[in-house]
Amino acid sequence: MEAEKAAKVCPGTDSAGVSYTSHLDLWSDDKKKASWYKKAEEYWDAQAATLDGILGGFPETSEPDLRESRRFLNIVRSAPKPPGRRRVLDCGAGIGRVTKGLLLEEFDSVDLVEPNERLLEQAKKEAGDARTERFIASSLEQFAPEEARYDVIWAQWVLLYLTDEDLVAFLERCKKGLSSNGTIFVKENVVIEGQWNVDRDDNSISRTDAMYKEIFKKAGLVLQDELRQAHWPKELVPVKMYALRRS
């Protein structure tokens, strides 16, 4: 029983060339955890509130990204008991790129949550319309979705900033935020072969597929579907989409 509860030890590396025997060493005390989040905050403070800034210098990836997301959403919608189309939450929304290019076209209304107030202001300018209801300034580790408010919770290129412990806790809170048949969509950089890697520029972790699946299980979520992003530059970390339901 204890062995089951114990987190799996996953070795990995960071962009400074340091090797780790376990990813948990990244966040093993409060000081490390605080500096983990501070780095990401500082990084996003320094980025331009533009497509180029939000996509790390690869603005051309936005279009294939949104196209594949829509394809995945339609696959999930064609399964029995699909999620509703009423309200969606965009997590780590940045300048509202996903809200504007996908979610507003696919749902009646969108809430956005984003900790960087400058980016959130830009999201209001770029994606704000009568159907964007709430612009919430918060980090995900401090945020709890309102109970049963969302048909879909969309988290893209943001869970890579959360520690494992905070991510499991966040997903557990998301479960409570879902309506019936509600679905959580996760779209993240995922290492398909090899070990996890941390980018020390912004303290983001590219987890392995197995690490994500372990986290989903811990949070009491069932993997309904998964798809690897196609039409993706070879020099970039692969991207995967997961659709998750309450177990």
Ligand X SMILES: C[S@@+](CC[C@H](N)C(=O)[O-])C[C@H]1O[C@@H](n2cnc3c(N)ncnc32)[C@H](O)[C@@H]1O
Residue 181 dihedral angles phi and psi, to the nearest 5°:
65, 10
Question: What's the burial of 169, exposed, middle or buried (CB within 10 Å: 0-12/13-18/19+)?
Answer: middle
CB of 139 to ligand X, least distance (A): 4
- Nearest C-alpha neighbor of 158 from the set 204, 103, 117: 204
CB of 224 to ligand X, least distance (A): 21
Q: Is 97 known as a binding-site position? A: yes
| Residue with smaller CB distance to ligand X, 54 or 186 | 54
Token couple for 220 = 């009491």
DSSP per-residue letters across 6-38? SPPP--EEETTS-EES-GGGGGSSHHHHHHHHH
Q: Is 92 known as a binding-site position? A: yes
CB of 26 to ligand X, least distance (A): 14
- SS3 of 70, please? helix
Name the closest residue to ligand X (Cβ).
Answer: 94
| Residue with smaller CB distance to ligand X, 8 or 134 | 134
| Residue with smaller CB distance to ligand X, 60 or 222 | 60
Residues that bind ligand X (CB under 6 A): 40, 44, 54, 92-94, 97-98, 114-116, 119, 139-141, 156-158, 161-162
DSSP per-residue letters across 107-119? SSEEEEE-S-HHH
| Residue with smaller CB distance to ligand X, 14 or 121 | 121
CB of 48 to ligand X, least distance (A): 12
Interhelix angle 164-177/209-218, nearest 10 degrees: 50
CB of 53 to ligand X, least distance (A): 9
| Residue with smaller CB distance to ligand X, 140 or 178 | 140
The rounded distance, in Å, linking the Cα atoms of 152 and 84 is 8
Binding residues for S-adenosyl-L-methionine: 92, 97, 156
Binding residues: 92, 97, 156
